[in-house]
Structure 1
Amino acid sequence: MAGKAGASLTRAQLVIMEPPAKVGARPGGRLASVKFQFNPNSLSLTKNVEWRRRPSRMAGQTAVPEFVGSGPRTLSVEVFLDATATHDNSVENRVEQLLLACVPTKKSRAKKKPASPWVRFEWGTAKTTSFDGVLSNLSVDYSLFDVDGKPLRARCGLSIEEAGSDVPGQNPTSGSREARRTHRVVAGDSLPELAWREYGDATAWRVIAEANDIDDPMSLAPGVELLVPAVEEVR
């Protein structure tokens, strides 16, 4: 970790926001801003692109890859917390702030549509690492304790998965996302993956499952034709 951030340094922070009210909407109001005591020394950014190939019968040749879609960005960052350098008597308060991003918000529970907050990592003018997403993983390693057992130091690992709020692109076969369409299952398909490609929300797989009377979203028989509801049916 870098040295302690002084007044002249731009501090990194994690912004915690209400989840969007509907698919395609922007995140809601700010719930909290967790300022980091120390700026990270490094950030890990990954992004996957999915391609599909059909087996080629011609020896020595390979099939032309078919572009399936672009996956979300994932940002991994490690945060160092130290209560010995502040007036706090424990790092648990800051850990609890981070844990807020892992549980449904009060507002979403009140609407009987529980959803965890969206988050955004902010550090100065950085753009590639600052995007709206969800906290997909949080790990906490306590390393120093007071005589009464209170944790004084901790390293927190955060993984933020991009959750773009742009309206999903058009279906090239129909020219519109308003009408229902069908999808023929191929090996490796799953409903969460299909829901992500169609609606930009992997948790919307239940809409497709209900439309096709599917019990197991991870077990799909290749060749089966699925009915894919329109976007407005997800809202």
Structure 2
Amino acid sequence: MPVPSAELTPLRITACQDNDGVVTPQSGAGKSVALLINPSQLHHERNTCFAKEKPMGDTGSGRPFSHMQPGKLSFSAIFDGTGVIPRPPGSTIPTEVEDQLRALSRVIYEYKGAQHQPGIVQVLWGQLLFTGRLTTFTTDYTLFRPSGVPLRATAALAFDSYTSSKQARLEADASSPDLSHLVRVVDGDTLPLLCERIYGDSRYYMAVARFNGLRQFRSLTPGMSLHFPPLE
């Protein structure tokens, strides 16, 4: 059944892999982290760049377009080891702050030798689906045990967006089934119908249900948001 609106939906960061120009989330232990405390705000920046010099004889048309810069996402995450924050049932989040930070670091920070670059990650929360690579990871420790072991920390995280070579070629066709789609459900929508509309094949409905964590996919609630991942 759809997740109730009052239930906490944690921000999740998942390691991804670029396989021949297709970015796909990885699965398995240690490939994803969910925050115990969601951010209070997100900063999502996009920039369009223009040539520095105006053309001679310009009458007000402005500087010519140059290029689009990668999007930027930044937010702060609080990590708590005091035990006062309720944990979701079945949570695998470590209890100690340093262990929580190490789990995060393994996903977003450690150099990936096989890829010869920092790891690609996917940030998923509500309607946000951001694919990028870490640029900043700054930790402030704010509470300690008498022994000096940290009980609370705040990590400031910033990411630059990442677009695979195949994704960039597909940008010209926003309706392509090889792109990620975020859909807000309206009355009368069904999962097979939405899959037919986006992928051209209703048979993908079970995979989409698993991706969105739907236990009962036959009745969709109007207003809920569903992520339709790119076809592999």
Gaps of 5+ in 1: 1-5, 171-235
CA-based RMSD: 2.8
1:66-105 alignment runs, 5 A limit: 66-85=64-83, 90-100=96-106, 101-105=108-112
For 1:120 and 1:8, locate their aligned partners in 2 and report how far apart those are by CA, in whole Å. 22
Which fold has the larger relative contact order, with Cα–Cα distance below 8 Å and residues 6 or more apart in sequence? 2
Shift, 1:53, TM fit: 4.3
| Same amino acid, percent of matched pairs | 23
Which residue of 22, 26, 30 maps to 1:25? 22
Shift, 1:139, TM fit: 0.8
> Is 1:14–1:122's contact at 8 Å kept on the other side of the alignment?
yes
Given the alignment of the two structures, is residue 119 of structure 1 paired with residue 121 of structure 2, yes or no?
Answer: yes
Shift, 1:159, TM fit: 0.7
> Is 1:140–1:156's contact at 8 Å kept on the other side of the alignment?
yes
Shift, 1:28, TM fit: 5.5
1:85-164 alignment runs, 5 A limit: 85=83, 90-100=96-106, 101-105=108-112, 109=113, 111=114, 113-124=115-126, 126=127, 129-164=128-163
Shift, 1:82, TM fit: 0.9
Q: 1:34 to 1:28 in 2, by over 3 A?
A: closer
1:1-235 alignment runs, 5 A limit: 8-17=7-16, 19-22=17-20, 24-27=21-24, 29-30=26-27, 31-57=30-56, 64-85=62-83, 90-100=96-106, 101-105=108-112, 109=113, 111=114, 113-124=115-126, 126=127, 129-165=128-164, 167=166, 168-169=168-169
For 1:165 and 1:93, locate their aligned partners in 2 and report how far apart those are by CA, in whole Å. 32
> Is 2:54–2:64's contact at 8 Å kept on the other side of the alignment?
no
> Is 1:13–1:34's contact at 8 Å kept on the other side of the alignment?
yes
| Residue 223 (structure 2) aligns with | none
For 1:36 and 1:146, locate their aligned partners in 2 and report how far apart those are by CA, in whole Å. 22
> Is 1:56–1:63's contact at 8 Å kept on the other side of the alignment?
no
> Is 2:12–2:125's contact at 8 Å kept on the other side of the alignment?
yes
Shift, 1:47, TM fit: 0.4
> Is 1:103–1:115's contact at 8 Å kept on the other side of the alignment?
no
For 1:70 and 1:50, locate their aligned partners in 2 and report how far apart those are by CA, in whole Å. 6
- Three-state SS of the structure 2 residue aligned to 1:77 is strand
> Is 1:16–1:32's contact at 8 Å kept on the other side of the alignment?
yes
Gaps of 5+ in 2: 88-93, 171-232
Q: 1:67 to 1:130 in 2, by over 3 A?
A: same
Shift, 1:43, TM fit: 0.7
> Is 2:78–2:155's contact at 8 Å kept on the other side of the alignment?
yes
| TM-score (norm. length: structure 1) | 0.57
- Three-state SS of the structure 2 residue aligned to 1:50 is strand
Find the structure with the greater CA-based Rg.
1
- Three-state SS of the structure 2 residue aligned to 1:142 is strand
Number of residues paired by the alignment? Answer: 154
Q: 1:56 to 1:72 in 2, by over 3 A?
A: closer
Shift, 1:90, TM fit: 2.7
CA displacement, residues 152-182 of structure 1 (integer Å, 9 cap, x when unaligned): 1000111121101253349xxxxxxxxxxxx
